[in-house]
A = this chain, B = another copy of it.
Amino acid sequence: MDVQRLELLRELADRGSVTAVALATHRTPSAVSQQLKVLEREAGLPLTQRQGRGLVLTDAGRALARSATDVAVSLAKATALWDEFRNLATGEVSLVTFPTAGQMLLPGVIKHLRPGLVLNCADEDPELSDFPAFTAEYDIVLAHSMSGQLSWAGRGLKVVPLMTEPLDVGLPVGHPLEDRAWVRPSDLIGETWIGVTDGYPFERILHAIEQEAGARLSMSQRFADLALIESFVIAGLGIALVPRYTSGGGQPGRLVLKPLRGIESERQIVALMRPDRAERLAVRTVIEALQSEAARVQQSHTAH
């Protein structure tokens, strides 16, 4: 019945170990263990279970942790309400992003944030890490996915779409397709591709192009960093799929972008949050800033 203890159970569900919960909540593991034991005694049935040297939740424990989320959400709504009364969207908000989204959105967002609201940002490689898991650590997680492809569904996370960014074909200056307004999958047969490492969303679109064009693509390189890929394209070593709004950051004007038709080629950029954190006034303010900045970026590209 005690909220603090329920919160502890929820943290355990999110983080998976007593030590991790203790670290995150600035307590000793002993304190966490004791409180969980009290909760279990109150509940009258086992909520956790030893597994090896670790601790996992039972079914009952998981169910209780889920309802603990609802409690946390309504509590966060209450504090947000009185923050609104004081008209203070103040405090610290933490955020992780994958590099290109951060480059595109964050400078503009931070510039327009009211003083008193501090946004702490970090970047992570989306390929190496389980992005949804970062919601335990950060208030806001910027992630990307193919349209409709929601790998983080069913985890009880709040998903806010920020923008849809087209993925164009990047060509070097002087390429035969340079003067075309747009290209189709069949135009791309025989080209050499600069690809990305496995697991990246671009991967799926390349497969779709193969299927549509009816031919295997030859993939000469596999990189994770966009600027590196672009430098290869500019050097004439191949062509690549690049996000329209974030490409050309390194060497402007020397890369030619062609929209891809006949296939849906875009990625969705979304913000992921734990539902309770999403209710905080400061967090909501940052999300709104992200949305308007995303709209601004998108509009500035469609304009010219």
Contact = CB atoms under 8 A, between A and B. Distances in A.
B78 A64 contact: yes
A74 interface: yes
A44 B86 contact: yes
Given A71-B71, A75-B71, A64 B45 contact: no
B44 A64 contact: no
A49 interface: no
Interface in A78-94: 78-79, 81-82, 85-86
A74 B70 contact: yes
A1 B60 contact: no
Interface of A: 1, 3, 6, 43-45, 60, 63-64, 67-68, 70-71, 73-75, 77-79, 81-82, 85-86
Contacts of A71: 71, 74-75, 78
**Highest count of chain B CB atoms <10 Å: which of A45, A63, A75:** A75
24 contacts: A1-B75, A1-B78, A1-B79, A3-B3, A3-B75, A6-B78, A43-B85, A44-B86, A45-B86, A60-B82, A60-B85, A63-B81, A63-B82, A63-B85, A64-B81, A64-B82, A67-B74, A67-B77, A68-B78, A70-B77, A71-B71, A71-B74, A71-B75, A74-B74
- The 7 nearest A-B residue pairs measured at CB: A67-B78, A70-B74, A74-B74, A71-B74, A60-B85, A3-B3, A67-B81
Contacts of A82: 43-45, 60, 63-64
A55 B75 CA distance: 25
Number of chain copies forming the complex:
2
**Highest count of chain B CB atoms <10 Å: which of A6, A70, A78:** A78
Contacts of A44: 82, 86
A79 B6 CA distance: 10
Contacts of A85: 43, 45, 60, 63-64
